[in-house]
Amino acid sequence: MGTALFFMSNTAVILDLFKSSMRGRALGTFQGIEFIGSFIGAPIGGFIVGFIGYTGVFSLALVLMLCSLSLASISKDLRKVDTSRREGSQVSVREAVLSLGTWGLTAICISNLLRMLIMMGVMSTVFPLYLNYQLGISIEYIGIIMSLRTVGYILSTVTSGYLSDMFGRKPMIISGTLLQVGCMYAYALLPSFELLLLIGLFDGFGGGMSFTSLIVLLSEIVPAEVRGGAIGMYRTFMDIGGLTGPPLFMLIFANMGAYITFLTAIAILALNIALVFTIKAKKPQTNPNQASD
């Protein structure tokens, strides 16, 4: 629960701090740094345990969190956002519910659910088993493939954020999903370890393109007053996809094999593209004198 609150709060703050013309690069930079922390955190934590022990690691984590809290507390920009939130125009519960019931937000939430079905059901559950049991790739090499996929995510979140500010959110989402479609089919056809490394990198890059741009698109189709609730819905659908993905795709994998599993994932990604086409998005404002919405 704490992680979910952290995700929603930080995302909402980033979207409130920056104008539409800069949200892509701002959120992309934030998420890129976040992924780097996740990527290097595990090995660094294991290394530190050898010096200060398990209890010391928790104490160090507490100190780091308190430092983060202190920085957030003294930030003038964060205080301005908080003040504008409290003093801004208030909406009734009925207006908030109606605003959250728009098709654009519903389509984004469903799209996010489908993405998480693939991410957790295929890439985090079926894919390692496919590599190990069917292709005979050792666990160490599987770790390298998955790590390179994470590197693709990190590179993509930063660069696609800038590109989405220039060319729009929907082109980035659709391009990233098409790249994932190609990689998903290649996984089933190209069993070479070296090729799988390259495919994993591109697959992560495509996933990162969609991940960043989808949240920014959400911020531009709902009123600022209900943005927090919209991000909450987004996260809820994300968790539902993460929960249902592994058992669903393990059932397909166990009964129909890896090839049908990847084809099913491709069909879901294609449905995702169709959903994104139905969303009416505003073009990012490019006027540097534009006020924050």
- CATH number of the domain within which 69 lies: 1.20.1250.20
Contact 276, 106 (CB under 8 A): no
pTM for this prediction: 0.78
Residue 168 has a pLDDT of 87
Asked whether residue 37 is domain-assigned, the answer is: yes
Cα-only R_g, the chain: 20
Q: CA-to-CA distance for 136 and 157, rounded, in angstroms? A: 32
Asked whether residue 288 is domain-assigned, the answer is: no
The ranges of the chain with pLDDT < 70 are: 1-10, 12-13, 35, 38-39, 41-43, 45-47, 49, 72, 75-101, 281-293
Asked whether residue 212 is domain-assigned, the answer is: yes
Q: What pLDDT digit, counting tens, does each position of 180-218 carry?
A: 999 999 998 888 898 999 999 999 999 988 888 888 888
Asked whether residue 142 is domain-assigned, the answer is: yes
Asked whether residue 292 is domain-assigned, the answer is: no
Could you give the number of structural domains in the chain?
A: 1
Inter-residue long-range contacts of 126-129, CB under 8 Å, 24+ positions, other chains counted: 126/249, 126/250, 126/253, 126/258, 126/261, 127/187, 129/253
Asked whether residue 65 is domain-assigned, the answer is: yes
Asked whether residue 254 is domain-assigned, the answer is: yes
Asked whether residue 267 is domain-assigned, the answer is: yes
Q: Whole domain around residue 244: which residue ranges?
A: 1-85+92-280
Q: What pLDDT digit, counting tens, does each position of 14-44 carry?
A: 777 777 777 777 777 777 777 677 667 666 7
